Structure 1
Amino acid sequence: MSAFEVIVNTHGAALLAYASKLTGDHHRAEDVVQETWVRAWRHQDRLTEDRGSVRGWLMRVAHNIVVDQYRSRRARPTEVELPDCDFTAVPEPADDVVNRMVVDSVLDVLSSPHRDTVVEVYFADRTAAGAAEVLRVPVGTVKSRVHKALRTLREALPEAAALEAA
């Protein structure tokens, strides 16, 4: 049996117990112990009782590894689990058709000037000034039409949900 194997057999259980206490997680503790053994392998010349306590050296290395892991986790953003869905999936074209039918039916509730104003502001993505220029009305008129149209649409939405369910 090599000198390194003797060290592992002598101090392995105590090192794992110490790392478990530091991390609070058995699996992370095993990773810490493994990294400790890698570093011990690289520095076998230091692992003699005449140069100091071998167990003390191993415990200090394990402690430093845990501290390094803690600091690196705090320096990175927290990892989050993504929901189980396919982000590459293309939406069903039928959904777009249904949505468009619902939007058209809801917009039919509005008068022609109000509908044209909503279409310019929300669907053509124009500012009030831009919509006023296209519709050839004052900016204040665009703002008041949008306000009244949104109020009318809010009242009509329960009816639109009933149309979609049918």
Structure 2
Amino acid sequence: MPPEDDRRLVALYDAHAPSLWRYVVHLTGDPSGADDIVQETLLRAWRSPRILEQAPESTRSWMFTVARNLVIDEARSARRRHEIGMAELPDPGRSDGTDALFEGLLIEEALAGLDMEHRAVIVHAYYGGCSVAEVARRVGIPEGTVKSRLHYGLRALRLALQEKGVTR
């Protein structure tokens, strides 16, 4: 930069920086942020040689416009919105049990649609936690019949659930 431009830039700073700084502080309420914006405004003036050659009134107007635009850009930036990184993700919360309640109701309706023999072995085996031998003893039928009723009962239960919109 030629010495003449240096003198113009120093004169520009001396003439406009204090009032520009007060203007930015008025807009933002942040004195340290105002320093950055005034510095960036002067840097942009330095990068635009035509600004240094304009009349002082035009230069002042241009600088205040640039400063206002920088304040607006800063206000819109993510840094200004105080986005904070987190070491851990927040707790996703707990299920309120609504899904489990609806699934239970669907299964209950599907079980109600089965005949009594199939429903009895399924309830004893899956909800009672009984083995095939225990189901046979409780219901009073042979183990082979329990296995057969479980097979056909589960097949009918799956079809009933599919008809209700449950898929798998």
Q: Report the TM range for the smaller structure's normalisation.
A: 0.3 to 0.5
Q: Please, what TM-score do these two structures have when normalized by structure 2?
A: 0.44
Which has the greater radius of gyration? Answer: 2
Q: Please, what TM-score do these two structures have when normalized by structure 1?
A: 0.45
